Amino acid sequence: MSKRLADDELEPTSPRSNTPLTPKRARFDSVEDEEDSRPAAPLAVEGGEEGEVDEDEDDASAMDIKDSTQSGPTDGFSDLYLDTIDSYTKLANLLAHSASTLVERFANVPLRKLLDFDFEKLCSVSLSNINVYACLVCGKYFQGRGRSSYAYTHSLDQDHHVFINMSSLKVYVLPESYEVKNKTLEDIKYVVNPTFSKEDVKMLDREVRDRKDLGRKRYIPGFVGLNNIKANDYLNVVAHALAHVVPLRNYMMLEDLKFKPELAQRFSTLIRKIWNPHAFKSHVSPHELLQEISLRSSKKFTLLSQSDPVDFLHWFLNHLHLSLGGSKTRAGSSIIHAVFQGRLKMESQAITAKADASDRLRFEEAADITTTVSRFLMLTLDLPPKPIFKDELDKNIIPQVPLTTILAKYDGLHPQELLGQRRRYRLLHPLPPYLMFHIKRFATNKFVEERNPTIVTFSPRALDMGPYVEPDAKHHKGGEPILYDLVANITHETVAAKEGELKSVFKVQLLEKARGQWLQIQDLFVEEVARELLFTSESYVQIWERRKIQGGKGKERA
């Protein structure tokens, strides 16, 4: 077969057509012919001769065409992928042929069962906390939304298109990357970052607020369960107790803390989620706050090992005080000190060899007495030693002691011996709006940690602190009671664990002021408890609220 000469034309490649293929240059010419039928492009006036088109202008218009897909969707298609977010509407459509009543009940109720915004905002691939987006289809976190980002890749691989920015709360559709402004997504934005107005906060303790989550489970805002991830019940009880200290709660709800350290921001978010009246679930996970606490405490307090609630409360209040702009030296420089800080007078005297052996704790008039005034956030109450011997029935009876008896430590009349010194304490005016008591139950010696199971009896209302405060006519009239009411009671319980070991369990008892009902919360379990049975548990930490004085009458609210 002879070779084709260079000047010969190519034969058609398709047997169905005898028309020779159009050369590549000819195809471009045909496109230009079609464009000639359209309105002519404006001629360049500057930078060229008349009748000559500016090439830079053509390039800019081409870029505009490319970027037009990023600016927004075609009219009418902005809600194109919103039906991929899980909802009861999809479930109702599946059951429409057999359960019409179920359709009517759930057709307009959104279900976001896969959306959980309680965990730390970290990209599930890079573990970065910068520019994090949450996929509203599967609930996973990804970083960024550019063409090389993990969220963009996820949208292409999994066919998931709707994402929310966890900081700005803007919703975008990927890979098109346009913002969605649809009111049906407001419930998701509210769950990510619940917000309250001053009127909402005022009504928290006045209105009976029964709610139902998306699973139709009843819950009470402010009294929801906190997830115990592994061993973080010590944090759960403290967070719940502080969430019911009204001034602190209102401050964390209403103040703008976006420029404060992460500890304050995450605690504020947790409190707002606890009081959220439009929650998707009837419980909250403190994972995000736990991660920050673990980092700030150099892993002293983690979710993997149980810690003492009192130790954690001391650490948390001091660091939260600093995070809110408080000073280490200046008193009352943050809401923490304004709510909990009080003053305590301590008198100490060395025990000499001439001390009366029958009464070593009696202060001697001739010896020097050192007086110091210190500030406190929590008062420690010592329990009497537990009995060593059994009773006549060969049983160990759990002893009981009134709260007023162990409070006598601060009346200035009952001295104690400590490190070769006798000391006596007295509270000073003005007392703080909230008093925290630590009932000391654990003592550690060289061999073992001992627990004192003594029951402290008390009435949750009208605790008179007047006998334990030094008289001061400037701040308080003599003879008038100083009444406090209990708002939170953290209890301790010992249960049998594996291999015969004993495990500590912490619970918190909270007062629902709208009903006057007490609720007990242990992790995810919330139940009512009778007011008369509060003292039957081993109280460990108590928070008391001072009654407000009615204006002009000089009498405190009953």
Please, what is the end-to-end C-alpha distance for the chain in angstroms?
116
**103-117, 132-146, 280-294, 530-544: lowest mean pLDDT where?**
103-117
Asked if 289 and 243 touch (Cβ cutoff 8 Å), the reply is no
Segment 27-36 shows an average pLDDT of 40
127/143 Cα distance (integer angstroms): 9
Q: What is the pTM of this model?
A: 0.79
**67-81, 212-226, 387-401, 441-455: lowest mean pLDDT where?**
67-81
**Which span out of 58-67, 342-351, 373-382 was modeled with the highest average pLDDT?**
373-382
89/34 Cα distance (integer angstroms): 48
| Structural domains in the chain plus CATH codes | 82-189 (3.30.40.10), 194-323 (3.90.70.10), 342-376+378-546 (3.90.70.10)
Q: What angle do CA 144, 149, 150 make, to 5 degrees?
A: 95
CA atoms within 13 A on the CB side of 531: 13
- 52 pLDDT band, cuts 50/70/90, is very low
346/364 Cα distance (integer angstroms): 16
Mean pLDDT of the chain: 80
pLDDT at 416 over 50: yes
pLDDT for 358 equals 66
Instruction: State pLDDT tens for residues 307-341.
Output: 999 999 999 999 999 999 999 888 888 999 999 99
pLDDT for 551 equals 42
Own/partner long-range contacts of 351-358 (Cβ < 8 Å, ≥24 apart): 351/417, 351/420, 351/421, 351/422
496 CB-contact burial (10 Å; exposed 0-12 / middle 13-18 / buried 19+): exposed
Q: What angle do CA 187, 191, 195 make, to 5 degrees?
A: 95
Asked if 150 and 128 touch (Cβ cutoff 8 Å), the reply is no
Question: Which candidate, 230, 238, 269, places its Cα nearest to that of 252?
Answer: 269
pLDDT for 473 equals 75
Asked if 488 and 240 touch (Cβ cutoff 8 Å), the reply is yes
- 123 pLDDT band, cuts 50/70/90, is very high
Which helix H or strand E contains 89, and what residues bound it?
helix 88-94
377/371 Cα distance (integer angstroms): 20
CA atoms within 13 A on the CB side of 67: 7
Instruction: State pLDDT tens for residues 172-196.
Output: 999 888 888 888 889 899 999 999 9
Q: What is the DSSP string of 246-258?
A: HHHHHHHHHS--T
pLDDT at 60 over 70: no
350/368 Cα distance (integer angstroms): 8
pLDDT for 395 equals 59
- 222 pLDDT band, cuts 50/70/90, is very high
70 Cβ contact partners less than 8 Å away, ≥ 6 residues apart: 176, 177, 178
pLDDT at 57 over 90: no
pLDDT for 413 equals 87
Instruction: State pLDDT tens for residues 464-521.
Output: 999 999 988 787 777 789 999 999 999 999 888 777 788 899 999 999 999 999 999 9
pLDDT for 254 equals 95
pLDDT at 422 over 80: yes
